[in-house]
Structure 1
Amino acid sequence: MTGPPDDCLARNEWICGEYLTTRRHILLDAVVQHLELTAVSVAVALAIAVPLAVVARRWSWASGPVLVVTTVLYTIPSLAMFSLLLPVYGLSATLVAAGLVLYSLTLLVRNILAGLRAVPEETRQAARGMGYGPVRLLLTVELPLAVPSAMAGLRIATVSAVSLVTVGAIVGYGGLGNLIYAGMNTYFKAQVLTASVLCVIIAVAADLLLLLVQRLLTPWTRATGS
């Protein structure tokens, strides 16, 4: 006997509405974990990248080591990265988040540093002439003018993190990657496709959200463009 005509799960079809209704809680939990890992890792990476970029900009001797170290970290394969961090963090969500932080540093540091270096020297001199000290100059002039470049790096880092979270499935903390990995092992078509599509949706939504934030933070770029 075969399943009823509308039993797409029994027929193991790629597109199956019944999968969405019967597994919605599993999907929701996976999406939440995916978002948490992405948001935490990118936020921590940003908090580390800003000081590193500032140091590299202020002291030229530090620029080379900072860029070399972050670039080397980015070249390490994801499986090797998680293996290297395993003795420190064990099989935990922190292991995945730490790996994502290290991967995000290259994209963030390079773009923030590029933004700081792009600030015109005349602008710095004018601010100093108005009595701006180093800290005030950094916070009110240099960092705001570096926002477009920094946001470009943040968008790339976020989309990359959304993708790399799925690799965390090898330690059981991969968000939607857990469903993709399990679905591929059992050839569960609907699960693989649904989880993959949700990953794409999260990446696109995150990029559009950050693009909106960038436009709100940099109104002068639109004025210049017009």
Structure 2
Amino acid sequence: MKRDDESRLHLGRRGLCFVPDLSKFSMLRCVCLNNNKITEICRTSFNCCLTELYLQNNYITSISGPLRHLSCLRVLLLHNNQIKCLDETVAELRNMQDLHTLSLYLNPFTQDPQYRHYVVHHFPSVQLLDRKEVNLGETRLAFKTFNTERQRVLDSIAFGRRALPPPAGGKYINKNPSSQHRTKCKNSLNNGTERPSGIRQTQNSIVQVKVIKWSGSGLAQWNPVKSKPPIDH
């Protein structure tokens, strides 16, 4: 066992088949276990303050369970292993909000053509993925690909095809005057008393705009004006 100091531990190229229990070393911040024969990781292998973990070039088939408590991790190398499930891997790493360097290539799930964008979408803090810098174009494309509904709403708003939803606790009022005018006319006809049988409806509107008052929120007030019923000929 080689220790540079109390915070770094190097166990690479030792022929290890398992990860020893290192959780009791509370000062450890960096652990190197690369180039061994490790197939699985114990749930109590590492302390929660670890910031760098090197597990590349092993035979690990799953990381579900033993890493999710490593919320301080900034560097994680897992390339050239046998991890098959991408969803499980993403779920395991989702608490790592400070993760900026991640390496997963040469695992079976990386053969999926959308693998990189999927990882970029779920880990916005990652700046270096598989030894390649994450650029703004990849981030935007990942957002459009895996956040399709939200992107559709944003696109429709940008092109004026859809209005924003009403704020919480508020009431949305259509700002289109002609639409409000038609609505008021319809409500006046539907909610009023029945017309006498000798009176028929004419083509003229029975509601007129009396006051248009625009407030800071852009809402219009409409006041109905009573008019004489048309005379039946």
Provide the TM-score with structure 2 as the length reference.
0.21
Larger radius of gyration: 2
Provide the TM-score with structure 1 as the length reference.
0.21
Question: Greater strand share, 1 or 2?
Answer: 2
Question: Greater helix share, 1 or 2?
Answer: 1
- Structure with the bigger RCO (C-alpha within 8 Å, sep 6+) is 1
